[in-house]
Amino acid sequence: MTQLSEIRRARPVLGTLVEITARGTSAEQLAEAVNASFTEIQRVHDLMSFHERGSDISRVNRLAHRIPVRVHPWTWRVLLEARNLARKSRGAFNITVADRLVRWGYLPCPISTRAAIRGDWHDVRLLPGHRVRLDRRVLIDLGGIAKGFAVDLAVAALQRHHVQSGLVNAGGDLRGFGSRRHVVHLRHPAYPGVFLPAFELDSGALATSAAYFAQRVWRGRRVAPVVSRTGRPSITATSVTVAARTCMRADALTKVCLLNGSSAARRLGGRAFVLAAEELSPRLLAA
């Protein structure tokens, strides 16, 4: 029985630390696989980052209300998924809430004009030839879905390079594959430096949404980067974890779960778990 090698690497990308664990028979092949995976993740970052001026998303935000903007097929895929989820969640999942995130200080304002943002997710038109058009001005931010998408691509890249089992973790959005079980810990919602063993995962994805690092005060009000359908910040002292088959879906469904409840997330392929501040293990939220 060949002994398996394992490598673990972390790099800053997608605005967070991305960690890749990979197991296989050849250390050299593992290094190559991990490099290839990080290259794909970097590509997602370059295409979909709200902060990079040259990204597809920045070009759409600046120009697509005037002319259609052609985007990379990956960006297209994510926008398509975002639109489907927006429709099925009646707007709970919404990539056009960036204007509020800008106002509350979570994102820098990317457009030089103070033009009013009047549009909504309905105004994002996906045209043939991977082109995007905005009927009215909106600010798109893929922060709630792009990390999950990048994780899925990274896992596929590792598998193409014959990695037998592993896990990709992008700032807490993670996906495992292969036959090895991974123990996943959650941060305690009130004490983020305390870790609770919560799940055993072999293949599948988890994404967790919690406010411990993200809550801030804006004009005397507490805000958080999760926006309800009425445009208000969703403040919660719990940690919500969604399990799904893909990380893109798990990532997006944490927002749906926070705003619409666990049955809404379940209808879209996710299982939701909540970890309350006074509990020590997460509870499955059944319908």
Partner 1 sequence: MDVFNKWLLPAAAVIVAPSAYATQYLTIEQAQQAIFPGASFTPAFVKITDEQKKQIERRTDVNVRIREQRVWRVSTGGYFIVDEVVGKHEFITYAIGLDAAGAVQQIEVMDYRESYGYEIRNAEWRRQFVGKHAGEKFKLDEDIKNISGATLSCRHITDGVKRVLALYDIALK
Binding residues for partner 1, per CB under 8 A? 8-13, 15-17, 21, 31, 167, 169, 171-174, 176, 181-187, 191-204, 206-210, 212-214, 239, 241, 243, 245, 271, 273, 278, 280-282, 284
Beta bridge partners of 177: 166
The C-alpha angle with vertex 110 and arms to 105 and 113, in degrees rounded to 5, equals: 110
- Among 150, 126, 138, 121, smallest CA distance to 71 is for 126
Find the shortest distance in angstroms from Cβ 165 to partner 1: 13
Contact 22, 163 (CB under 8 A): yes
Ramachandran category for residue 91: left, alpha or beta (phi over 0 → left; psi -120 to 50 → alpha): left
The CB-of-145 to partner 1 minimum distance in angstroms stands at 15
- Which is closer to partner 1, CB of 12 or CB of 54? 12
CB of 142 to partner 1, least distance (A): 16
Output DSSP code: residue 121. Answer: G
Looking at the Cβ atoms of 181 and 232, the one nearer to partner 1 is 181
Q: What is the DSSP string of 141-207?
A: --TTTHHHHHHHHHHHHHHHTT--EEEEEETTEEEEESS--EEEEEE-SS-TTSEEEEEEESSEEEE
- What minimum distance in Å lies between the beta carbon of 114 and partner 1? 26
DSSP output for 137-149: ------TTTHHHH
Residue closer to partner 1 by CB (options 34, 132) is 34
- Complex with partner 1: residue 32 or 120, whichever CB lies closer: 32
Q: Which is nearer to partner 1, 119 or 172 (CB)?
A: 172
The distance of closest approach from Cβ of residue 283 to partner 1 in the complex, given in angstroms and rounded to an integer, is 9
Q: Which C-beta is closer to partner 1: that of 137 or that of 182? A: 182
Whether 77 contacts 194, CB under 8 Å: no
Nearer to partner 1 among residue 111 and residue 280 (C-beta): 280
Q: How far is the CB of 268 from partner 1 (least distance, A)?
A: 15
Q: How far is the CB of 276 from partner 1 (least distance, A)?
A: 12
- Cα 115 vs. chain centroid, distance in angstroms? 28
